[in-house]
Amino acid sequence: MRLQDIFQSKAQVKLVEHLLMNRSKVFNQAGLARMLNVSPSTVARIAEPLVKSNILLFERYEKGMKIFALNQEAPATRNLIDFYDKIRDL
């Protein structure tokens, strides 16, 4: 996995940072769209490579609600968490 695969756009960086700051929370697609000030379809587009990389967990619930959470068990995510924690305090 390359950094370019994770950080493809400013919106994707904002999404990853928001999830890193709220590691134990679960978010729906509409709420993430509001937080990022983008459309729900943009959230789906920028989340797709993160789901494929196993950094994000994704579930579809009743009536099509899409739920996302940081996959804290994945090695790449653990490395991102460590990196984020180190640079946040600079």
CATH code for the part of the protein at 3-88: 1.10.10.10
pLDDT: is 8 or 53 the higher one?
A: 53
30-36 mean pLDDT: 93
Question: What does the pLDDT read at residue 88?
Answer: 82
The domains of the chain are located at 3-88
CA distance 68 to 3: 20
Is the pLDDT at 11 greater than 80, yes or no?
Answer: yes
**One-character DSSP codes across 29-90:** HHHHHHHHTS-HHHHHHHHHHHHHTTSEEEEE-GGG-EEEEE-TTSHHHHHHHHHHHHHHT-
pLDDT of residue 65: 81
Q: What is the pLDDT of residue 4?
A: 64
pLDDT digits (tens, 9 = 90+) for 72-87: 999 989 999 999 999 8
